[in-house]
Structure 1
Amino acid sequence: MMWLMEGFSSQRGIIQGLREAIRHYGWQDAHGQPLSVIASHRQYRPEITQCADIALREPTDPVQRLEFIRETVAAYQVRVIHTGKPGRWFEAHRQEIEATGVQLITGATGPASQALADDKAAFTEALMAQGIPHTPAVRVENLEALRDTLQTLKASYPRLCIKPNTGIYGLGYWQLDDQAPASLMLEAPDSRRIRTETYLDALAQSGGLKQPMIVMPYLPGPECSIDLVARRGQVQAALGRRKDGPMQTLFEHGEEVELACRVAALLQADGLINVQTRAGDDGRPRVLECNLRPSGGVAYGLQSGINLPAIMMADRLGLTLPRQQLRHTTVRIVEEAIPVPASESHHA
């Protein structure tokens, strides 16, 4: 039994990949029965949990989580647990969880790796120390430091951007453009582009920075997202996605993949993770960040012929899996909707 505990939207794609492998390759348990997949979440997420063989609701109180894990492992004879979040809690309780007899996959091998990946400024320093091509980043903690940093960096980099030092989903990211019209953020907020003085004025009027930020050169792209399966820093499979609006091009080899593998080794990644790169003016890719968890787009790769979730689980459980081959290299991203019962709508 494989158990996928609460993750981001990628949890659904991982379940789909595993169930596809169970059907295609006849994965069985010790009793000769097809392997099963458990999915659990703290929220009402049927688009995730209904894809699995067994759906569970996790406790919302972290204090109850460890006992919930013990009971579920015993009841369903779970052999491996994969979690997308919250990774730090799982690393802090790894010993107790693995004492139940399961393998735990968090994307990391310890809290130090997770802390380094989460702290974008510290991560940039680690990349520099290892000679891994990256985007220079300066951490700022107040408005005065931000103004000074912008003035200093503009001498070398005419285009700059800013984002929170910690965070996900790209929240808080802005491209700072001295030439942008003041009304741009109202007319096209999704462009994430704003006049520098407008940004600074908004901060001043709202009391300054609310959290540490990092300022870095803006790179023109293209942007790539590389999904990796790793075991203690050793990459077992990689699949890159070059982004172009709703279209994404999939690839197995190249400079972006090589950079991602170096990052996995640096962080001793362990599981299904993601590395982001973007090309500079010279066309060469540079590492932006690493998420020690599956990316939201990991399911897109299932259309390529390379099933990364299956590769991860086959390795952990000693299952037979034929060599995966890239068959399709272009996908289009689409959206869908599901109904939510009134009883659950306030939790969504």
Structure 2
Amino acid sequence: MRVWFNRGFSTVHTAIDLIRQADVDERFTIIHSNPNPRTPAARLAHAFHTEPTGLATADYIDWCAGFCREHRIDIFVPGREATAIAGAQARFEAAGTRVLSAASEPHLQLIHDKARFYAETALPVAPVAEFRHFEDAAGFEAAYDFLRRRHAKLCVKPAHSIYGLGFAVLDEERNSAELLMAGAEYHVSLADFRAGLARLETFRSMLLMEYLEGREYSVDCVGDNGRLVTAVVRRKSNQAGAGQRIDQRADILEATAQLCATHGLNGMFNVQFREAAGKPRLLEINPRMSGGIGMACVAGPNLPYIALRGFADGYESLEIPAVRDGIRVAELSRAVELT
């Protein structure tokens, strides 16, 4: 079967590598495309093609549909424009290509809009942090007045973001220079933040939230249209170089299964939690592979291969390894020559 990974996150390299390691029968021919011909994933795919740049969404989908026809793609695993492509699945299926989307287009739009997602999520086993949405300086002050009475520490982040970009804890004591000198990552001076907002007439939609002090958990998953097939829970360490612990907490797995069912999640996805008073709280769903997917697979299940093989043939015939709970994992980088 011919499988296409278009331009996506850096995890495409890891996914292709893991699939090829597990595909001992050479069932899958992996094709990758990217505007950058020197992307590391190009070295691992069976075939590589250069993508165009600067296309509007509709034009890019046209290009993808043409690519699928020209290269006889059986399964398309979208990265770039995944939400819009999920809404065009019928078009690809008419050309003989099945699209492995993490969810339907409406659910992907909801997941990417954290303000709506938090407001509509009911998850008693791992509730979202208390939050308020704001879009101007006055809205921030109203949100801050309400939440600061209820929580000792608050944080901000954009309603639409990836990789945690834009997240910061509000520091009520230090200014920006003091934070910089102290090396306080992901912190911003409350006074400086307020002053900056006052100078902005408009800015992107933001969230003010209670800050969760506890340990962070990242769950790498495979879903089958709302059924959680398998999941690996990684507990992150606050100590640099200490790696991460595989911790298959029953409450986190229960919450993940509920989210999978609610949003009809499919293929590879990731869910983030953080503790507060010993109880998990939901941070977000990432409808894609996480940056730590390689570490998760050290614990047993080869998640990208399971997701692809299950989508291609059904999960009934798959033997899924048990997760090696309690082991410690880490990821090491290595240098390579780019041709």
User: Structure 1 length normalisation: TM-score?
Assistant: 0.86
Match of 1:91 among 86, 94, 111: 86
> Is 1:254 matched up with 2:247?
no
Tell me which residue corresponds to 2:331. Answer: 333
Does residue 197 (structure 1) correspond to residue 191 (structure 2)? The answer is yes
8 Å Cα contact 2:61/2:85 also seen in 1: no
Pairing of 1:278-317 with structure 2 (within 5 A): 278-280=274-276, 282-317=277-312
Aligned to 1:5: 6
1:3-42 to 2 correspondences below 5 Å:
3-23=4-24, 26-28=25-27, 35-42=28-35
CA–CA distance in structure 1, aligned partners of residues 174 and 337 of structure 2:
40
Find 1:126's aligned residue among 112, 120, 123: 120
Task: Give the C-alpha shift of residue 234 in structure 1.
Answer: 1.2
Please say if residues 180 and 193 of structure 1, whose CA atoms lie closer than 8 Å, have aligned partners that are also in contact: no
Indicate yes or no: 2:269 matched with 1:273: yes
Shift of 1:67: 4.9
Q: 1:57 maps to what in 2? A: 50
Aligned-pair CA distance for 1:75: 4.6
Distance 1:76 1:22, change over 3 A: farther
Residues 1:336 and 1:187: Cα distance change in structure 2 (over 3 Å): farther
Please name the residue that 1:32 is paired with. none
- Between 1:63-72 and 1:310-319, the stretch displaced more is 63-72
Aligned mates of 1:241, 1:170 — CA distance in 2: 17
For 1:48, give the aligned amino acid: A
Listed as ranges, the matches of 1:139-158 within 5 Å are 139-158=133-152
Change (3 A) 1:81 1:151: same
The yes-or-no answer on 1:318 pairing with 2:321 is no
Letter in 2 for 1:333: E
Rounded to whole Å, the distance in 1 between the matches of 2:66 and 2:206 is: 42
Equivalenced residues, count: 330
- 2:99 is matched with 104
Q: Distance in 2 between matches of 1:302 and 1:220?
A: 28
AA paired with 1:78?
I
Could you tell me how far 1:195 is from its partner in structure 2?
2.7
Partner of 1:344: none
TM superposition outliers: structure 1 runs of 4+ over 4 Å: 129-132, 336-341
Please name the residue that 1:227 is paired with: 220
Query: In the alignment, is the contact (CA less than 8 A) between 1:138 and 1:214 conserved in 2?
Result: yes
Q: Is the 8 A contact 1:66 1:97 kept in 2?
A: no
String of CA shifts for 1:172-203, please: whole Å, max 9, x gaps: 11101213455333225662112311221233
Equivalent of residue 114 in structure 1, options 102, 105, 108 = 108
Worse-matched range after superposition: 315-324 or 264-273: 315-324
Amino acid at match of 2:205: P
Q: Is the contact between residue 125 and residue 251 of structure 2 (CA under 8 Å) also seen in structure 1?
A: no
CA change 1:180–1:129 in 2 (3 A) is same
Distance 1:189 1:48 in 2: 34
Residue of structure 2 in register with 1:173 after alignment:
167
Deviation at 1:46, TM superposition (A): 2.3
Mean Cα deviation higher: 137-146 or 45-54:
45-54
| Aligned counterparts of 2:301 and 2:169: Cα–Cα separation in 1 | 34
CA separation in 2, counterparts of 1:129 and 1:276?
Answer: 14
TM-score, normalised relative to structure 2: 0.89
| 3-state SS in 2 of match to 1:293 | coil
Alpha-carbon distance, 1:21 to partner: 1.1
Identity value in percent: 25
Q: Note the residue ranges of structure 2 that are not aligned, 5 or more in a row.
A: none
Structure 1 runs not aligned, ≥5 long: 29-34, 342-348
Letter paired with 2:319: P
**What is the CA deviation profile of residues 217-248 of structure 1, one whole-angstrom value per residue up to 9, with x for unaligned ones?**
00012011111111221111111111114411
